[in-house]
């Protein structure tokens, strides 16, 4: 909740036109009309199973991503990430307990 307020305040201070939606990823994907974005950041809690994260990425790829969109998935380093079909792995980089996985 606090992070959403900070983001809203930053948007206002910059005079930018953007919206902040505070719902679960599943609800957002279910209730939002399809749209195309070039950058997809997926940062679920580490407790969310890898299979569930991959399923979310597959839904995003199908309904919300531009054809060459870049995906960045954050996961615990101890849990390797397997991309769903249709997403090409690019690289991954570990930062201590966190690994960022890049694909398109």
User: Does residue 14 belong to any structural domain of this protein?
Assistant: no
User: Does residue 13 belong to any structural domain of this protein?
Assistant: no
User: Does residue 3 belong to any structural domain of this protein?
Assistant: no
pTM, entire model: 0.79
CA-wise closest residue to 22 among 1, 42, 48: 1
**Looking at residue 69, which CATH number applies to its domain?**
3.40.50.150
Domain count of the fold of the chain: 1
Full residue range of the structural domain in which residue 47 is found: 23-103
Mean pLDDT by 10 residues, the chain (104 residues): 90 90 86 88 94 95 92 97 97 98 98
> In the prediction, which pLDDT does 54 show?
97
């Amino acid at each position: 909740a606090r992070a959403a307020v900070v983001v809203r305040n930053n948007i206002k201070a910059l005079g930018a036109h953007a919206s902040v939606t505070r719902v679960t990823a599943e609800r957002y994907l279910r209730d939002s009309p399809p749209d195309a974005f070039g950058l997809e950041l997926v940062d679920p809690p580490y407790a969310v199973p890898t299979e569930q994260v991959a399923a979310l990425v597959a839904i995003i790829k199908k309904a919300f991503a531009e054809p060459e969109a870049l995906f960045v998935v954050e996961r615990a380093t101890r849990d390797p990430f397997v991309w769903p079909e249709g997403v090409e792995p690019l690289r991954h980089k570990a930062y201590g307990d966190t690994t960022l996985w890049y694909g398109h």
